[in-house]
Amino acid sequence: MPFEDLSLLIAAFIASLFGQGGGSLYTSVQIWFGVDFHTAAATSLFLILVISLSSTLVFRRAHEVDWGMALALEVPIALGAFAGGMLSHFVSDRNLALLLAVLLVAAAWFMVRQPAENRSATHPASSSRWIWQRKTGGDVYWLDLRMVLPIMLSLGILTGMVGIGGGILQMPAMVLLFGVPMSIAVGSTAFMVGLTAAAGLVGHLSMGHFELHYAVVLALPVFIGGQIGSRISVRLDQERLKTWFGVFLFLVAVWTAFLALKSAWIFHGSR
């Protein structure tokens, strides 16, 4: 258990650099230590609540959280995450792990391949009651709710199924599709992933996937890692952080796919 605690502390540090809950890492670390996927996913969501609180305290002081946007976008995400948590009960561990790997690769591709253009200062071509202007600090940006709400609902379902807070996909969507400045997307995502995780955890609880004592033991190293990582994040260059984040996602995707295929090989080889 001590080595698992250290692994999760490091995972929380890395995840909070990018405003993430760390679910993709927490789930993978637990699978590595032999925890079944459904229990790992539920525990991961609990740990995301912990790191979300830890990181948001730091980003709030740096004025990098758009509270209005975060709360509005969280409604469809949370509904989707709750449904995804329940739907996961009907999907095998191996398929859930492979789905997680696919989601990570997709997010990484968009973060690395898209130009570092900041579209936040561009006014939308048409005016509509669905266009929502936001201003946080010195940044002004616009959200087209006709596109934002369905995308966030879909992301909530997918991330709820695999036990991640959703930030690993929400943050790229906000930056690349919605034109939110990177620093605001990172800070807002840190807050949002906690709410998404709570909804997904309720879905898993209803299916009996959660072990409270096990999750509480892992909460302290995750909280500490979140404090360290988020404090460093607010001092880093955001465009460079974007590229690092994409590379980081590719590495985690490869690791997660390896764990899923290794588990399937061991299972079939033992028959």
Q: What confidence score (pLDDT) does residue 81 get?
A: 81
pLDDT of 270 above 50: no
pLDDT of 2 above 60: no
- Within 10 A of 269 (CB to CB), how many other CB atoms are there? 7
Q: What confidence score (pLDDT) does residue 121 get?
A: 45
Nearest to 199 by CA among 66, 49, 51, 67: 49
For 196, the 3-state DSSP assignment is helix
Q: What confidence score (pLDDT) does residue 24 get?
A: 60
For 19, the 3-state DSSP assignment is coil
pLDDT in tens, 209-218: 677 777 777 7
Q: What confidence score (pLDDT) does residue 71 get?
A: 92
Q: What b/e string do you get for 12-37 counting C-beta neighbours within 10 Å, with b at 16 or more?
A: bbbbbbbbbbbbbbbbbbbbbeebeb
Q: What is the pTM of this model?
A: 0.65
Percent of the chain with pLDDT over 70: 75
Confidence of residue 114 (pLDDT cuts 50, 70, 90): low
**What are the C-alpha distances in Å from 24 to residues 60, 136, 163?**
24, 29, 8
Query: What residues pair up with 133 in beta bridges, in sequence order?
Result: 142
Lowest-pLDDT range, 115-124, 173-182, 243-252?
Answer: 115-124
More confident: 111 or 86: 86
Lowest-pLDDT range, 140-149, 154-163, 193-202, 236-245?
Answer: 236-245
Range among 78-82, 237-241, 254-258 rated most confident: 78-82
Confidence of residue 125 (pLDDT cuts 50, 70, 90): low
DSSP code per residue over 201-244: HHHHHTTT---HHHHHHHHHHHHHHHHHHHHHHTTS-HHHHHHH
CA distance 62 to 183: 10
Distance of alpha carbon 162 from its chain centroid, rounded?
Answer: 11
CA distance 261 to 82: 27
pLDDT in tens, 53-69: 877 888 888 888 999 99
Lowest-pLDDT range, 76-85, 190-199, 220-229?
Answer: 220-229
pLDDT of 113 above 50: yes
CA distance 116 to 129: 29
Confidence of residue 268 (pLDDT cuts 50, 70, 90): very low
**What are the C-alpha distances in Å from 164 to residues 91, 184, 212?**
16, 20, 18
- Within 10 A of 69 (CB to CB), how many other CB atoms are there? 22
CA distance 75 to 173: 16
Q: Which residues contact 256 (CB under 8 A, 6 or more apart)?
A: 24, 27, 28, 97, 100, 101, 104
pLDDT of 153 above 80: yes
Q: What confidence score (pLDDT) does residue 155 get?
A: 86
DSSP letter, residue 129? T
Average pLDDT over residues 200-215: 75
